[in-house]
């Protein structure tokens, strides 16, 4: 899964876009479909998260190839691309598996954190640390989404830079989480364990992306020389 259709994009966006002219309601339906994909992935992920290689297993259950959550190949086959064209649906980053996985895992992290803050025990937490943890989630997701956008444009160096920032935010969040929620009881440890699983999976996903981007950049540099 890489910069889908990048090889066929010569800079003429109007030609690439075709005759598509959607209304606001059509785009809203498209975005709702993207949200359903995100919810579906999260549901599948939650059933397999304790198994080895669960990211790849969840990808297969979503109908993707296991390689779709790395980057070296287009995630849409030619037949699927033709089918999309016939259906009149565009390709956007919202369909990118890395986008779907990232949004799904962050949705879980954000909703879980919100539930913690609604708990009466949250009154004893440091407001500053709570803010820093929430900010780490926001900054990590923002940089990841910017990286996916750069990926679609084939800007591999920019992808790596944004994902380095996203990784820094995830690492910061893991450290802050231990400060906010010191080991007190089994329920706290279970909660932190669930959060760590998602955070470490985000790291694994992005490290795959970074590795593939570097490999692709080196390949293209050799081809140009």
Question: What pLDDT digit, counting tens, does each position of 108-165 carry?
Answer: 999 999 988 887 566 678 889 999 999 999 999 999 999 999 988 889 999 999 999 9
Residues 6+ apart with CB under 8 A from 58: 41, 44, 45, 48, 101
38 pLDDT more than 60: yes
Average pLDDT over residues 15-32: 77
Confidence at residue 120, expressed as pLDDT on a 0 to 100 scale: 59
Q: What is the dihedral of CA 108, 111, 114, 116, to 10 degrees?
A: -50
Q: Which long-range contacts (CB under 8 A, 24 or more apart) does 61-67 make?
A: 62/37, 62/97, 62/100, 64/1, 64/97, 67/1
Contact between 4 and 75 under an 8 Å Cβ cutoff? The reply is yes
Round to whole Å and give the CA distance between 188 and 131: 19
Which DSSP state fits 119? S
10 pLDDT more than 60: no
42 pLDDT more than 90: yes
Q: E-strand spans in 89-171?
A: none
Q: How far is CA 210 from the centre of its chain?
A: 13
Contact between 91 and 74 under an 8 Å Cβ cutoff? The reply is no
**Which residue, 148, 147, 150, 155, is CA-closest to 220?**
155
Round to whole Å and give the CA distance between 39 and 105: 10
Collapsing DSSP states into helix, strand and coil, what is residue 51? coil
Round to whole Å and give the CA distance between 116 and 129: 13
What is the average pLDDT value for the chain, to the nearest integer? 81
Kindly list the domain boundaries of the chain, sorted by start residue: 23-224
pTM of the model: 0.81
Cα dist from 50 to 4, 57, 192, 201, whole Å:
31, 11, 15, 12
More confident residue, 144 or 192: 144
Helix (H) or strand (E) holding 191, with range, is helix 186-224
- pLDDT tens readout for residues 67-112: 556 544 443 344 344 445 445 677 788 888 999 999 999 999 999 9
Report phi then psi at 64, rounded to 5.
Answer: -95, 165
């Amino acid at each position: 899964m890489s910069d889908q259709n990048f090889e066929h994009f010569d800079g003429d966006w109007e030609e690439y876009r075709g005759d598509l002219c959607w209304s606001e309601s059509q785009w809203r339906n498209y975005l709702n479909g993207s949200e359903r994909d995100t919810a579906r992935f999260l549901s599948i992920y939650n059933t397999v998260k304790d198994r080895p290689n669960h990211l790849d297993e969840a990808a297969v259950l979503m109908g993707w190839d296991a390689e779709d959550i790395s980057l070296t190949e287009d995630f849409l086959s030619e037949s699927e691309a033709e089918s999309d064209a016939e259906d009149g649906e565009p390709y956007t980053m919202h369909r990118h598996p890395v986008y779907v996985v990232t949004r799904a895992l962050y949705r879980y992290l954000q909703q879980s954190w919100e539930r913690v803050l609604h708990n009466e025990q949250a009154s004893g937490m440091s407001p500053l640390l709570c803010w820093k943890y929430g900010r780490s989630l926001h900054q990590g997701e923002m940089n990841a989404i910017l990286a996916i956008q750069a990926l679609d444009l084939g800007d591999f160096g920019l992808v790596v830079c944004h994902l380095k920032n996203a990784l820094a935010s995830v690492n910061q969040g893991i450290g802050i989480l231990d400060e906010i929620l010191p080991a007190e009881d089994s329920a706290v440890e279970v909660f932190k364990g669930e959060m760590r699983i998602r955070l470490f999976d985000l790291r694994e996903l992005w490290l795959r992306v970074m590795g593939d981007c570097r490999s692709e950049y080196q390949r293209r540099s050799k081809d140009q020389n």
